Copies of this chain bind each other. A is one copy, B any other.
């Protein structure tokens, strides 16, 4: 066209500014306008828990470039040549006339903005449950810098002791850590049977136990029925009784902000988020959408999913910009990769959990592989608790979860790459990852884990999950629970009803066990447990299983002597 292209972008947090700046870089003559309801732009909302804890000291840090320049409207205009209307709400999209009606929140006056191309980056909004007294003072969601500021101000008054965090997802656990660091006594209330529902139960349980070791109370299967208080919140009524609270954080999740798109007649997907094609184009060819308001494709299942994340928003913003500038670009989809810090633990996951994979009809094999994340003799080595999920039929990796003080994020990024590439566990077991003692064991954790899956798929190892063993113990089933660790290790930590026969002594003590009785072997991490099972099988024992993950990944109480 002869005149400059007019681009209007609704939303100034992540995908919006990213698209705006990229459009100007590719098409310097374009007129790009960002319409943002709030005052602030490009705020790093993922950093809010660290602002509350004080790790991030100044609000400006969450609004600045890496070199410390605040991304305000003047910055966007002067440096990026992007026009910003902040404190301005987009209230209507007129698709046929290709214009957006906006309301300037300061004065209330309205005007129309014409566009050639429109980008909807309206994000998502926190879910606020419709329960009595939800409007009491000192009840917060944590979605903007203003929210964080309000929480910080209340904490600074020094009167907050008991905090209830409602919802044990990513934001809930990150905020819990921040509040504990500020001296609060925190209880997480989670409706589901586990926190962090993107993990399998036993991995979430290991994280829960770690949180408890830092003084956090975790109530799963618990529902808040009402808040209590008079003006200010004083407690919550749950199906497990009443809990005191000086502050309540609602972290139940977010819903995509789609009203504007919906009212304009744009197609909304089955997840409730805006439907886009791989080019991030909505059902209107001149309207794109990106970030937390759109649904993505799950790369493994091909199905739509809603996984709002800042990393995805930024990538999508770039794809939108390229398409608006006439350079074909596509966003393939996501694996639900995510990571969070929970006190001394890193928690990360990608792809399908065992439960999700089974629900999708996969027949799966899994491995629980605990090991030091660096050469075990290095003083910096830290335990890493890794779970892999693979498809029995194709032997492909479907998912991975990891936690512990070790570098879980690194292994889960490697797993995400393996899943993206469609690798089998056999291929994964031989990838050339970097090795030196300060960074990895000679056999990297993920390679060892892949080999455990291979051993199981090839019938050399029959595993049994710690959850199943725990059930067998509770049901008082008749089996030998065989601890093949050293006497010293057995002295330190014990599992219930276990018999100690150190691996080195097993060959000479085989006659202590009846050959037709089920035997479940274990050690600290299950390697010696595996060797014990092989010895027993070679000696003619019929039903021998290895408990996945050993003592290191036992997600229940142990007897610490």
Residues of A at under 8 Å CB distance from B? 14, 25-26, 28-29, 44, 46-47, 50, 55-56, 61-62, 64-67, 69, 75, 78-81, 170, 174, 299, 309-315, 318-319, 327, 331-341, 346, 348, 350, 371-372, 375-379, 407, 409-410, 412-414, 416-418, 420-421, 423, 427, 429-440, 442-444, 447, 451, 458, 460, 485-486, 489, 503-504, 507, 524-525, 528, 530-531, 534-535, 538
Contact = CB atoms under 8 A, between A and B. Distances in A.
A377 B489 contact: no
A437 B50 contact: yes
19 contacts: A46-B437, A50-B377, A64-B377, A78-B504, A170-B436, A299-B432, A310-B435, A310-B442, A311-B443, A314-B443, A332-B430, A337-B433, A337-B435, A409-B439, A410-B413, A413-B433, A416-B432, A417-B421, A420-B431
Contact of A346 (B61, B332, B435, B439): B439
Given A340-B436, A413-B433, A442-B311, A420 B420 contact: no
A155 to B, nearest CB: 19
A75 B502 CA distance: 12
A430 B315 contact: yes
A108 to B, nearest CB: 32
A538 B28 contact: yes
Contact of A377 (B62, B407, B485, B538): B62
Contacts of A530: 25
Nearest to A488: B68
Nearest to A534: B25
Nearest to A415: B417
Given A67-B524, A377-B62, A531 B25 contact: yes
Contacts of A341: 436, 438-439
B458 A327 contact: yes
A428 to B, nearest CB: 9
Nearest to A174: B436
Nearest to A55: B379
B440 A372 contact: no
Given A28-B538, A55-B379, 19 more contacts: A25-B534, A26-B460, A44-B377, A46-B437, A46-B442, A47-B437, A56-B378, A61-B377, A64-B377, A79-B503, A170-B436, A174-B436, A319-B430, A334-B432, A337-B432, A337-B435, A340-B436, A416-B433, A416-B434
A463 to B, nearest CB: 15
Contacts of A50: 377-378, 437-438
A534 B26 CA distance: 8
